[in-house]
């Protein structure tokens, strides 16, 4: 049976790309300007890494209930938000 729900690897890759975009935006807001080519490369690399690290659907990845990848992405988003808000 087919569904429209994305598989976990696709979700991880999308989150990796979004995290990279937020990181570049946060750096830009903090006064560190990244050239467009660097921003695009960072987005591609993080999206690839997130998708690569996530186990395929139906495969137990032995990481337990909390996926390390998602924890790292949340930490990155929090750091970017704190940088934008001027905390550090």
pLDDT per position as a tens digit, 11-60: 888 888 888 888 888 888 888 787 888 888 888 888 888 888 777 777 76
- From CA 35, how far away is CA 27, in angstroms rounded? 11
Query: Tell me, what's the pLDDT at 86?
Result: 65
Query: Tell me, what's the pLDDT at 52?
Result: 80
70 neighbors 14 (Cβ within 8 angstroms)? no
Query: Tell me, what's the pLDDT at 34?
Result: 79
Task: Pick 65 or 70 by higher pLDDT.
Answer: 70
- Residue 77 pLDDT exceeds 70: yes
Query: Tell me, what's the pLDDT at 26?
Result: 82
Instruction: Give which of 62, 47, 58 is closest to 11, Cα–Cα.
Output: 47
Whole-prediction pTM = 0.62
CB count in 10 Å sphere of residue 31: 7
- From CA 83, how far away is CA 88, in angstroms rounded? 6
Three-class secondary structure of residue 3 per DSSP? coil
């Amino acid at each position: 049976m087919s569904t429209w729900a994305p598989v976990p690897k696709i979700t991880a890759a999308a989150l990796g790309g979004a995290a990279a975009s937020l990181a570049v935006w946060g750096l830009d807001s903090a006064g560190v300007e990244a050239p467009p080519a660097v921003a695009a490369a960072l987005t591609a690399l993080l999206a690839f890494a997130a998708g690569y690290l996530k186990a395929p659907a139906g495969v137990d990845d032995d990481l337990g209930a909390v996926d390390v990848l998602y924890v790292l992405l949340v930490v990155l988003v929090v750091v970017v938000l704190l940088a934008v808000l001027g905390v550090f």
